[in-house]
Structure 1
């Protein structure tokens, strides 16, 4: 699959910003027409608190693999962890709480710009213990079953916030601190999946297709 025109890393590289500030030079997801309290950011309720580091691997302009790692401290669907993995046209959700993992994939990950343009079939939900170490100093290491995700070499730390993150027509508010990273790998059955991390930006404001994320709050 070819690289999506927009990815979260491009939005996250903007750092701390309002939606108005982000519109200059960045094509964020369109704001959906919404009725009711959720259309007013001031009235949105917290639905998830946690962290969601991610990795996209590329061969040229082709996405070879994508992993979305979740640690949820609190949500409307409980707490726990999950790894959502796209590779070879298949989606796997490895999680210690299947109902939570299914919600994370169905509500969030499948609508992330990184998944845009990828064939995204219904996932296979696999109940597995998930172990995640995630911080802005050392990066992220997550494993569950036969899958391991590693992100290292954090290049920068900056805040990001928007009230206009469209998830399948449901516009959410998002705030977090992100750390674009120099290197990452996704392993399945002890073998690294093909592809490389793509880095861009400037030395002062680096961007990467691998990033750590902490202090993540979603509101709807």
Structure 2
């Protein structure tokens, strides 16, 4: 017999597309987490969190929402395991997000632009064991791994490329879009 998953309540509904770039040696050169929060315990809105080896930049019109997303979620994502974490530089700025499970993502905030395209697949994913620091969260979403992703900062494309792996029937990528994303705690 399997035990039932723990009872949890939704704390966030929205989307969290991301791009992680790698150099030729396989080291992470940049990671961006884009948020479109339709509803949460901390309000609704958009945010963009950019990690680079030199620091973390948080861009959001609602900086309270942005800080919550950064400290409660992004900081604990597996893509950042083992990478140095710096106190985020916070800039209050609107974040424009144009998201499609057909074509990908275009997002911009201040001097940061993100593009994700070349959708390879769409599939539903769920887990009741997504680690967020000392908490274990539930996560339900539609995931679309993509062939391409780029991050531009102040007009300069950040170095590194997207890693695509998996199989043709179940591709995986370090660039992806999501939608119908529900976080449960």
Fold-level similarity (TM above 0.5): yes
- Alignment-derived partner of residue 45 in structure 2: 80
What are the Cα deviations for residues 181-216 of structure 1, in whole angstroms up to 9, with x where unaligned? 000100000110000000101111111100010000
1:89 Cα offset (Å): 2.5
For 2:64, what is the secondary structure of its paired residue?
A: helix
Structure 1 contact 44–219 (Cα < 8 Å) conserved: yes
- Alignment-derived partner of residue 55 in structure 1: 19
Aligned length: 182
TM-score (norm 2): 0.96
Structure having the higher strand fraction is 2
Partner of residue 159 from structure 1, selected from 124, 137, 148: 124
Aligned partners of 2:182 and 2:136: how far apart in 1?
A: 14
Structure having the higher helix fraction is 1
Structure 1 contact 94–130 (Cα < 8 Å) conserved: yes
- Alignment-derived partner of residue 44 in structure 1: 8
For 1:103, what is the secondary structure of its paired residue?
A: helix
Partner of residue 93 from structure 2, selected from 114, 123, 128: 128
1:219 Cα offset (Å): 0.5
Matches within 5 A, 1:110-129: 110-129=75-94
Structure 1 contact 89–120 (Cα < 8 Å) conserved: no
Aligned partners of 1:191 and 1:178: how far apart in 2?
A: 28
TM-score (norm 1): 0.81
For 2:49, what is the secondary structure of its paired residue?
A: strand
| RMSD of aligned alpha carbons | 1.1
Please say if 1:69 is aligned against 2:39.
no
Structure 1 contact 51–213 (Cα < 8 Å) conserved: yes
Aligned partners of 1:88 and 1:168: how far apart in 2?
A: 21
Structure 2 contact 53–84 (Cα < 8 Å) conserved: no
Aligned partners of 2:90 and 2:22: how far apart in 1?
A: 25
Aligned partners of 1:168 and 1:93: how far apart in 2?
A: 19
1:85 Cα offset (Å): 0.2
For 1:203, what is the secondary structure of its paired residue?
A: coil
For 2:151, what is the secondary structure of its paired residue?
A: strand
User: Structure 1: which 5+ residue stretches go unaligned?
Assistant: 1-19, 21-39
1:42 Cα offset (Å): 4.4
For 2:14, what is the secondary structure of its paired residue?
A: strand
Moved over 6 A (4+): none
